[in-house]
Amino acid sequence: MKARTLVSILILVLAVLMITIFPWSSAQSEDYDNKRPKGEVIFKLGQEDKSEYDFTARSFKDNPEYTCHVGVDCSTETFPPGMYRLFPGYVNRDVKCVTIIFDLKRHYKEVVLRLARSGSETTVVVIDGTQTYHVTGEMLGSREGNIFGVYNLSLGSFDKGTHTIVMTVADDGIGNGTYGWDALALIAK
């Protein structure tokens, strides 16, 4: 009887571990946050499925900065899977700075940058070199250990023409200085 009980307990523990490590049910939802803004999608990278699986680019060891042009070369196949804060001796498959360049055919009154990622670090977002925003892990609801969160960053209005979004990781002493992307989207309401 004791052997059966022990086997049953081990099977239960294994099942709990597998569900914790591989949360299948969360990967089935395209949108794990029902507060997705409605509107025109200017660009979208990845699916909100609480994983980094969509971002398949590998090592950026020799090029720690990444720039892409929406509609030209901005895709999950080339986009880095994550970002890190630069500190001595740290080399990673990720980058320290991402620049996204996009063109708008008309004026938009309200634009939202939807960030979905893991990690407790703060993302510094600079729009057109003038507006700076800080998106903390607390705002996202994300933490270390592949705990993903999402945040809708309201950027205000945008005129017709070319614009840039530059993102880095803040040196705020929170987390281990690195995080992974789940999805990014720019949506005009």
Q: Tell me whether strands 161-169 and 123-127 are parallel, antiparallel or unpaired.
A: antiparallel
CA R_g for the chain: 19
Query: What secondary structure does DSSP assign to 46-89, as a single string?
Result: S--SSSSTT------TT--EEEEETTTT-STTTS-SEEE---TT
Task: Evaluate the CA torsion angle 144, 150, 154, 155 in order and state its sign.
Answer: positive
User: Letter for the amino acid at 49?
Assistant: D
CA distance 67 to 50: 24
Other CB atoms within a 10 A radius of the CB of residue 149 amount to 23
Q: What is the pLDDT along the chain (189 residues), one digit of tens a residue?
A: 566 666 555 555 555 444 444 333 333 334 455 577 889 999 999 999 998 888 887 777 777 899 999 999 999 999 998 888 765 555 566 888 999 999 999 999 999 999 999 989 999 999 999 999 999 999 999 888 788 999 999 999 999 999 999 999 987 877 777 888 999 999 998
Q: Can you list the domains of the chain with their CATH numbers?
A: 29-188 (2.60.120.260)
Asked if residue 91 lies in contact with residue 62, where contact means CB atoms within 8 angstroms, the answer is no
Give pLDDT tens digits for 31-75: 455 577 889 999 999 999 998 888 887 777 777 899 999 999 999
